[in-house]
Amino acid sequence: AQTVTQSQPEMSVQEAETVTLSCTYDTSESDYYLFWYKQPPSRQMILVIRQEAYKQQNATENRFSVNFQKAAKSFSLKISDSQLGDAAMYFCAYRSPKFPSGAQKLVFGQGTRLTINP
């Protein structure tokens, strides 16, 4: 079974600086999908960025980018120019392409709570 590990329960960063959140995963599959979700105090789960394992290019969405290291099974999230609105819990998640159960399930890490210091 796949597992996802976020080893940083909490992180903090000064506003306008850059922070990197770590995520590692364990799988025997060669193709899969990886996601970062943001959960602000409102509890809403917001998709930040996604990565398909067969794509070597790292995904980028505005100030958010990932460092995807397939061989190392690492999927870190970099937030540049941190803003107060980035304060949230961040979850890394894995999804298998296998049908049917894998297509149904996101496997989540434990989460990293990010604090932005003004």
Coil, strand, or helix at residue 76?
A: strand
Among 28, 41, 43, 118, binds other proteins (CB under 8 A): 43
Among 24, 50, 64, 65, binds other proteins (CB under 8 A): 50
**11 vs 106 by CB, closer to other proteins:** 106
Nearest CA to 11 out of 80, 117, 114 is that of: 114
Nearest CA to 26 out of 77, 96, 78, 101 is that of: 96
Residues at the site binding other proteins, with contacts judged by CB under 8 A: 4, 6, 9, 33, 35, 37, 42-45, 47, 50, 52, 91, 93, 95, 100-101, 103-106, 108-111
